[in-house]
Structure 1
Amino acid sequence: MSVRKDDELDKPSNHTAVDNEKVSYTSDEETNFLSPDTFLLTASTIAAIAGFLYGYDTGIISGALLQITHDFSLSSHAQELVTSAILVGAVVGSITCGKLSTILGRRYTVMIVAAIFAVGVIASGMSPNAYALGAARLVLGFAVGGASQIVPVYIAELAPPAKRGRLVTFFNISIGLGILTAALVGTFLQDAWTWRTMFSVAAIPATILFLGMLPLPESPRWLVSKKRLKEAHIALDAVRETEEEVRKEIKSIKRVHEKAQRKSTGSWKDLKQPWLRPALIVGLGIAAFTQLSGIEMMIYYTPTFLTDAGFSRDAALYSALGVAAIYLVLTITGKLLVDRIGRRTLTLWMIPGAVISLVLLGFMFKLDASGGQHGWLIVACLFAFMVFNSGGIQVIGWLVGSEIYPLGIREKATSLHAATLWGSNLLLTATALSMVNLLGIGGAMWFYAFLNFLGFVFIYFMMPETKGRSLEEIETSLKEGTFYPSK
């Protein structure tokens, strides 16, 4: 591959040389020893460490809460507050980091998030009381929300259309790894580690994420939006195989960005444009149902639900471990299928199983089966729900948000997407134990089954298929009024 001279690269953006030439990522001073595919996979994997931190830091409360409740003598309401504090921070972080990523770029925003992760987990581990712990988890939540907003966007903007689904779902898989690690710690280190150690140890992957982002490229789409075409060529060159791909993609990004820029005011009012409304309705609806389906509530409160229903502490913790393992395995399975089957089809196949599982789970709790020989049925129904939910709507929750919003409003829209997702999570998590007290565990499961059914109806009528389509093609369908699925 040839290397263009600096004076050629610095030509104005309307010159065809800049539009049509591929710039090698190598130079006399620096050589990239990785192939584009390997480099792209490496960049996606490093960025996805943020997902591991998200999963671990939200999931560790499941095992740690038993110790924290004992140490600080927490009521059920206080348990909800300590658990949900991280979600309040996540809402704030998801909104704030969108603005940061617009100003500083995707890469630097991920690094800031990594630093906040490290501060938050150390502060949590050093908390002298429940109020300090809640405040520390609020800070930690800022990083969780920021990671969920920026990392899927960063990966999606680096990835080619055919691989985008698989690569963005590395974030989901990393979340699953974090949740599983938290469950393993909560189950097998319950007596060896204090809850303070459980929190503080997450500073290690946070540091790895910060250092790992240093050599990675910036998003080429962000660079184009800042008119830094030379750097955009270099960044895209590192993750594409051919000159033809780079040439076409840079031209497509420029064309779409210039059109969006002419219509943009640079404010939140941009989201009110009628042609954008379908993307916002679908994206925010998916974000809400991803959490209203009950997945995080199950992860946070499985030990609490099962011990309240008569299970022993060990049985409840092992069940929580099974929940985490299923989440990871089915997320990986979804990753392998999502670019083949499609986002919409995969989700519509899986949601009915989640509804049936929750209905049966509600019956099992109503029959008080845990006290007798049928306790295994409760665990079976719980695991079945995790299979259908983790392998369906959880696979697309962050993926769809990284795909359907046009470049001109992507930072604001993905911030709102993440805020909606975390707000829904907060609503469900902060009311879960109160809902159980009001309706009983069985009644609560039926309520969550109804929410899953509503999610199915929404996706069937509203969500288009984005498999194999470039980000620019999806944006064009919005402008042409062909965004919604055809029946």
Structure 2
Amino acid sequence: MVISPPEKPTRDEKQSAGRNVAIVALFAALGGMLYGYDTGIISGALPKMSAQWGIDHTRQEIVTAAILAGAVIGALVGGSLSKRLGRRKTIFIIACVFAVGVVACALAVDAWMMTFCRLFLGLAVGACSQIVPTYIAELAPPQRRGAMVTFFNIAIGVGIFLANLVSVVAAAGDSPEASSNWRWMIGIAVFPALVLAAAMLQLPETPRWLIENGTVGKARVVLRWMRPNRTAAVEETLQIWAISQQEDKESRGGWANLTQRWARPALIAGLGIAAFTQLSGLEMMIYYSHTILGTAAGFDAGLVVWSGLGIAAVYLIFTAVGERLVDVVGRRRLMLTLIPGSTVFLFGFGLMFVLTDHPNRYLTLALMLAYMACNAAGLQAVGWLLGSELYPLSIRDRATSLHAVALWGSNLVLTLTALSTIDGLGLGPAFVMYAGFNLLSFVFVYFAVPETKGHSLEDIEQSLRDGTFLPLRGNIASRIGLPDNRITTGAAAD
């Protein structure tokens, strides 16, 4: 019998599959843009609301953090919903909540109504942050998964940049602090929400969810559309099916599966990274950039607005840099390279205000931007990605929910306490403390987070079962200075 060699994809097939993967990632990542815009627009809108409604710092923190409290709830609900209905239908529902939420916020008549509406809007933000990266990761090929999932991060950066650009436009009129033009600033986000809802009616369900729910044939059809040829689609279908069969009995345990000893290292790594992406302080600085630079640092109104736009631009540019590097340098190495920079620059920013009450404005802004660049390209680019690829299939829905809860919960704590902390400790000591959180994140990554670059989701799961997941095994001292620790599986690492 003559065995035919494996089918090789043609150039046209590769281009077609790559285009289809990009289309899915780009449209799904609209959820990231909505997340970035709806959380970022508060920085420019909050001073206007405060002037119109006469609210103090405590109420400002409550209004700002309400969306994060909703995000915690949305993250918990989103996992169960996506397991029952599928990733695609859940994202459609999320898009509808986004549309209703932003319109409600734009029509709010006082601070308490705004708080409630942002709480509702947060349901979409939290569920989106949990479902969209998982949706993209389960459709993307292993060698492009990092770049595709970080489309979500780039979209967040686009949303934050657009929010600050809108703030610049809104501030161009006379007496911007007393105006009520914050309503249209918030309300225009309804349009991308409707585009996302329409797109999800056309995009496919993920093959992993389809196989888990007994529709192997549909999964193969989806993979044939997303992969360069029939052979690649069939092989991946069989690999997913084998893992699904292996987990069939385990998946009946529900939330109890999260306590399984073999899966614990993935939970520790994923939830820790989720917390540190927020405790490192970047998103808190985005929310309160106008307040921090204007009230605490003494920037004039014009410089505050343009500085906010510069912060958003740096976030966007360096998130894109991280997207380009994450599949080349690797997740772990990228974080270990850039976290020291974010620590030093944030410490320097805080130290400037410890040493003097009136530091050089441009030097302090430069330190803030340098910190933003390192954090956006490192921790922020990798945080969402790891949440989509570390967890085994049997616990993925619940674990990604916990991942988003850890992220939004830590964000909520930081946002609720930021202005009070700055008032109590002073701007300088507060940011020295946040620099300490960045240093702790470096230690955590070194000891608890493995390299996942180039490995399929099934390879990562098998490493957990084999006990080869952790980055440092055996004699730790002998491995100091070797940050590129890889998951050891049957598949060769890139």
TM over 0.5: yes
Q: Which position in structure 1 is the counterpart of 2:196?
A: 209
1:49 aligns with 2:36: no
1:75 to 56, 68, 76: 56
- Give, in whole Å, the separation in 1 of the partners of 2:264 and 2:383: 18
- Give, in whole Å, the separation in 2 of the partners of 1:280 and 1:386: 27
- Give, in whole Å, the separation in 1 of the partners of 2:353 and 2:244: 54
- Give, in whole Å, the separation in 1 of the partners of 2:188 and 2:289: 23
Q: Which position in structure 1 is the counterpart of 2:380?
A: 394
Is the partner of 2:328 in helix, strand or coil? helix
Q: Which position in structure 2 is the counterpart of 1:411?
A: 397
Q: Which position in structure 2 is the counterpart of 1:66?
A: 47
1:195 aligns with 2:182: yes
Q: CA deviation at 1:55?
A: 0.1
Q: Which position in structure 2 is the counterpart of 1:282?
A: 269
Q: Which position in structure 1 is the counterpart of 2:159?
A: 178
Q: Which position in structure 2 is the counterpart of 1:154?
A: 135
Q: What does residue range 25-174 of structure 1 map to in structure 2 within 5 Å?
A: 35-174=16-155
Is the partner of 2:426 in helix, strand or coil? helix
Q: CA deviation at 1:154?
A: 0.3
Is the partner of 2:65 in helix, strand or coil? helix
- Amino acid aligned to 1:445: F
1:454 to 432, 440, 451: 440
- Give, in whole Å, the separation in 1 of the partners of 2:294 and 2:356: 13
1:384 aligns with 2:370: yes
Q: CA deviation at 1:244?
A: 1.7
Q: CA deviation at 1:302?
A: 1.1
Is the partner of 1:216 in helix, strand or coil? coil
Q: CA deviation at 1:61?
A: 0.2
Is the partner of 1:264 in helix, strand or coil? helix
Deviations 1:146-176 (A, max 9, x none): 1100000000000010000000000000000
- Give, in whole Å, the separation in 2 of the partners of 1:379 and 1:336: 26
Q: Which position in structure 2 is the counterpart of 1:26?
A: none
Is the partner of 1:265 in helix, strand or coil? helix
- Give, in whole Å, the separation in 1 of the partners of 2:253 and 2:112: 39
Q: CA deviation at 1:35?
A: 1.6
Q: Which position in structure 2 is the counterpart of 1:262?
A: 249
Is the partner of 2:109 in helix, strand or coil? coil
- Give, in whole Å, the separation in 2 of the partners of 1:250 and 1:212: 25
- Give, in whole Å, the separation in 2 of the partners of 1:187 and 1:388: 25
Q: CA deviation at 1:191?
A: 4.5
- Amino acid aligned to 1:83: T
- Amino acid aligned to 1:129: D
Q: CA deviation at 1:264?
A: 2.5
- Give, in whole Å, the separation in 2 of the partners of 1:438 and 1:260: 51
1:334 to 322, 329, 336: 322
1:366 to 339, 343, 354: 354
Q: Which position in structure 2 is the counterpart of 1:3?
A: none
1:347 to 335, 355, 359: 335
- Give, in whole Å, the separation in 1 of the partners of 2:169 and 2:158: 16
Q: Which position in structure 1 is the counterpart of 2:228?
A: 241
Q: CA deviation at 1:266?
A: 4.0
- Give, in whole Å, the separation in 1 of the partners of 2:408 and 2:168: 26
Moved over 4 A (4+): none
The number of equivalent residue pairs is 455
Q: CA RMSD in A?
A: 1.4
- Give, in whole Å, the separation in 2 of the partners of 1:182 and 1:359: 27
- Amino acid aligned to 1:387: A
Structure 2: state its 5+ residue gaps.
1-5, 8-12, 174-179, 473-478, 480-494
- Give, in whole Å, the separation in 1 of the partners of 2:105 and 2:257: 38
Q: Which position in structure 1 is the counterpart of 2:310?
A: 322
- Give, in whole Å, the separation in 1 of the partners of 2:251 and 2:191: 41
- Give, in whole Å, the separation in 1 of the partners of 2:17 and 2:251: 33
- Amino acid aligned to 2:267: L
- Amino acid aligned to 2:207: P
Q: What does residue range 302-317 of structure 1 map to in structure 2 within 5 Å?
A: 302-308=289-295, 309-317=297-305
- Give, in whole Å, the separation in 2 of the partners of 1:359 and 1:404: 31
Is the partner of 2:453 in helix, strand or coil? coil
- Give, in whole Å, the separation in 2 of the partners of 1:341 and 1:258: 34
Deviations 1:418-465 (A, max 9, x none): 010000100101100011011100001100000000000000111000
Q: What does residue range 446-485 of structure 1 map to in structure 2 within 5 Å?
A: 446-485=432-471
Q: CA deviation at 1:128?
A: 0.7
Q: Which position in structure 2 is the counterpart of 1:250?
A: 237
Q: CA deviation at 1:467?
A: 0.1
- Amino acid aligned to 1:214: L
TM-score by length of 1: 0.92
Percent identical = 49
Once the two structures are overlaid, the 10-residue window that deviates more, 265-274 or 146-155, is 265-274
Is the partner of 2:205 in helix, strand or coil? coil
Q: Which position in structure 2 is the counterpart of 1:4?
A: none
1:375 to 350, 358, 361: 361
Is the partner of 1:344 in helix, strand or coil? helix
- Amino acid aligned to 2:215: R
- Give, in whole Å, the separation in 1 of the partners of 2:170 and 2:417: 29
- Amino acid aligned to 1:142: L
Q: CA deviation at 1:265?
A: 2.3
- Give, in whole Å, the separation in 1 of the partners of 2:51 and 2:183: 13
Structure 1: state its 5+ residue gaps.
1-20, 23-31
Q: CA deviation at 1:304?
A: 0.4
TM-score by length of 2: 0.90
- Amino acid aligned to 1:380: A
1:295 to 278, 282, 296: 282
- Give, in whole Å, the separation in 2 of the partners of 1:106 and 1:375: 46
